[in-house]
Amino acid sequence: MLSAHTSPLEQPGTGDAGGMNVYVLELSRQLAARGIEVEIFTRATSRHQPPQHEVEPGIVVHHVAAGPFEGLQKNDLPSQLCGFVRDVLRVEVESAPGHFDLVHSHYWLSGQIGTVTRERWNVPLVHTMHTMAKVKNALLAEGDVAEPVGRIAGEEEIVRLADRLIANTDEERRELVELYGADPSRVAVVHPGVDQTVFRSGRQAEARASLGVPDDAALVLFAGRIQPLKAPDVVLRAAAHLLHTDPDLRGRLRVGIVGGASGTGLEHPTALSDLSSELGLDDVVTFVPTVTQSQLSDWYAAASAVCVPSYNESFGLVAIEAQACGTPVVAARVGGLATAVSDGVSGVLVDGHDPADYAHALRPLLVDPELREAMSVKAVKHAELFSWDVTADRTIAVYEQAFRSFEAHQ
């Protein structure tokens, strides 16, 4: 596994750590449980990290020294790829011949490295985009920065050279084919999963008690990295709209913002708290630093609704995790969220990013307990369709296809 720009051991929700970190680690665990040894290569971000770390039997993380340990942003990393490739290749040279059978790269930076290892080791390359520059640039949030042309060229090269591409959804598969010219026969759809032992339903009262949330609170939750792409400002503006149209909600409405600044959000780290004050929401909004998966599960379970108004999501693990906890989701009708949320069943999909539309979608879930309970039950059922066990089985099937294709062209 190649995960160059962010380690699967990092806490999701801050910096560059997010759903991809969860994806790489959970998939690796499932593969290891099936007897497939996994070695994950990621860039070292501290001199105190060991060169190798065994996460659990069958999974080793290599911390590769490539550039300064600290101070590099994601857009600085392409200049450090040569050092990363050198150390990755060295591991194979120091091992027995044929040590690696297949490379699975994640995100375009890793894909660039993957194309080199594919040629050097003579093994198949499977790549998962997670996000794509052409899609992001078509759906930029206000104040966000367009992805560079170098990334687009890199992604096009990966699409051309990878033996198989894994898309999270049918929509992502369509984008790979239409925007990048991918061969449809080499693109497989494999949905990410959710750990349903961590994200569990039927415990709202328990979760609220542990977090100090009042029993009668109408709690709207945003969980994720604080950056324009994720649109947390839409949640605050929707809350302000709710209070404007229904002042009686003031005593009950609570908004939880769980996560840390990331990406272009690092340029104005106080922007969201400043907006809260500007909107007169300081008595309503609670900002929570990045939390563990177990604590995040409590926040999901405590919420009346989870709001995911992102401008783009390749899948949207937050939406599935929330539904697994029995919490309906109000989300933007973009990318993978249209798959992650069953519109009108397990949640509500909203066109665009008008805060008034999100307020309109949220209000029934906050004031109608029977509606929320009915949608909660259906949310759990919908989330049960997504499991890491199924994700692993389907990914292994893609690996087998990649082997056959690779051998046929030798």
Binding site annotation covers 19? yes
Residue 17 annotated as part of some ligand binding site: yes
Beta bridge partners of 330: 307, 348
Question: Is 225 assigned a ligand-binding role in the annotation?
Answer: yes
| 395 marked as part of a ligand binding site | no
Q: Tell whether 375 is in a known binding site.
A: no
- Would you say 144 is a known binding-site residue? no
74 is in an annotated binding site: yes
Distance CA 172, CA 299 (A): 29
Q: Is 107 annotated as a binding residue?
A: yes
In the 8-state DSSP scheme, what is residue 123? -
**Token output for 57:** 């039997």
Order the strands of the 253-258 sheet from edge to edge. 285-288, 253-258, 218-223, 305-308, 329-332, 347-350
**Residue 21 in marked binding region:** yes
186 annotated among ligand-binding-site residues: no
335: left (phi over 0), alpha (psi -120 to 50) or beta: left
**131 carries a ligand binding annotation:** yes
d(CA 60, CA 28): 10
Cα atoms in the Cβ-side hemisphere of radius 13 Å centred on 266: 9
Is 328 annotated to bind ligand? no
Q: Is 20 annotated as a binding residue?
A: yes
Task: Identify the H or E element spanning 3.
Answer: none
Tell me the chain's radius of gyration from C-alpha atoms: 21
Residue 136, annotated ligand binder?
Answer: no
User: Helix or strand or coil: residue 111?
Assistant: helix
Structure token digits, residue 73 = 């942003």
29 annotated ligand-binding residue: no
What residues are designated binding site for UDP-N-acetyl-alpha-D-glucosamine? 11-12, 19, 225, 230, 291, 313, 321
What residues are designated binding site? 5, 11-12, 16-21, 74, 107, 131, 151, 225, 230, 291, 300, 303, 313, 321, 327
What residues are designated binding site for Mg(2+)? 300, 303, 327
What residues are designated binding site for 1D-myo-inositol 3-phosphate? 5, 16-21, 74, 107, 131, 151
